[in-house]
Structure 1
Amino acid sequence: MKTVFEMIIDGDIPSVKLYEDDVCLVILDINPIQKGHALVISKKPYPRFTESPCQELSHMMEVAKKVDLKMREALKAEGTNIMINNDPASGQEVPHLHIHVIPRYKDDGKGFILNKDKYSEGEINQFGEKLCLK
């Protein structure tokens, strides 16, 4: 079964397209965190970013950078959130690689502050050992 993004790419579902090339498509999110919230969507249906070839992911980040700059110019955004939710535990709703580019403004009340955790004594070193990329 096709994802909603595959249906948008195939033209089965209408969208407001901001950009398109051979690798990706940029559309406005229909359920935006903030008006102007855009999605940079891979044309290939990778379920998560770790399955995307580095060259394609790099290209998508270059496009996200252009979207960011356009938001700052056209919408006078004072900042942006650039996000990839990777698997449902992180909030990914569509199993298809996409990058959120969300315009932000001082005191916009939108948040995005996650509840921070704390390490117990010595625990940070244990996590460091587990996650070290040797």
Structure 2
Amino acid sequence: MSVTPFMFGPWVIRNSEIFFESALSVALVNLKPVLPGHVLICPRRVVPRYYDLEDHEIADLWKSAKIVSKVIEKHFNGDGLTFAIQDGKNAGQTVPHVHIHIIPRQKTDYENTDQIYTEIEKEREPRTLETMAKEADELRVYFQ
């Protein structure tokens, strides 16, 4: 891993939480996942809003999301994926740094599949650094 330190908005993300890097983007495990395998893809540059990204950053961000999503879905036994961007405070964005949520889905997740959007908004307990590092280690092997 070459990112040291990586800033996710105002937060420092440890290398142990990062499992994928591209030229302009980083994938990290989520402190408060909605479902198992819920990860984030962020541009390296701290940019608060989607429209503030340069075109080449957008291309890299979505290419990274494509690469990571294929692995995440398989690793967590999903049969679908939810991609979400909360762009701005009134859209539910809590960290002022553009990021894509990738959430592996299974038929049994929720009775109403759109409930995932309500769940994204809910406050959840943070995971331990050890739990997050273990998950990142499991995922990192796919990208080495």
Number of the residue aligned with 1:16 = 17
Number of the residue aligned with 2:10 = 3
Q: Contact conserved, 2:26 with 2:43, CA < 8 A, in 1?
A: yes
Corresponding residue SS for 1:112: helix
Corresponding residue SS for 2:116: coil
Higher helix content, 1 or 2: 2
TM-score, reference length from structure 1: 0.72
Number of the residue aligned with 1:98 = 99
Corresponding residue SS for 1:33: coil
Write the distance in 1 (CA, Å) between the matches of 2:116 and 2:36. Answer: 16
Number of the residue aligned with 2:55 = 54
Highest CA radius of gyration, 1 or 2? Answer: 1
Cα distance change, pair 23–113 in 1 and its aligned pair in 2 (3 A): closer
Write the distance in 1 (CA, Å) between the matches of 2:70 and 2:104. Answer: 10
Greater RCO, 1 or 2 (C-alpha within 8 Å, sep 6+): 2
Segments of structure 2 that go 5 or more residues without pairing to the other structure are: 1-8, 119-144
Write the distance in 2 (CA, Å) between the matches of 1:76 and 1:61. Answer: 22
Cα offset for 1:88?
0.7
Write the distance in 2 (CA, Å) between the matches of 1:74 and 1:36. Answer: 8
Equivalent position to 2:116, from 109, 112, 115: 112
Regions of 4+ moved over 3 Å: none
TM-score, reference length from structure 2: 0.68
Corresponding residue SS for 2:97: coil
Percent sequence identity over matched residues?
Answer: 26
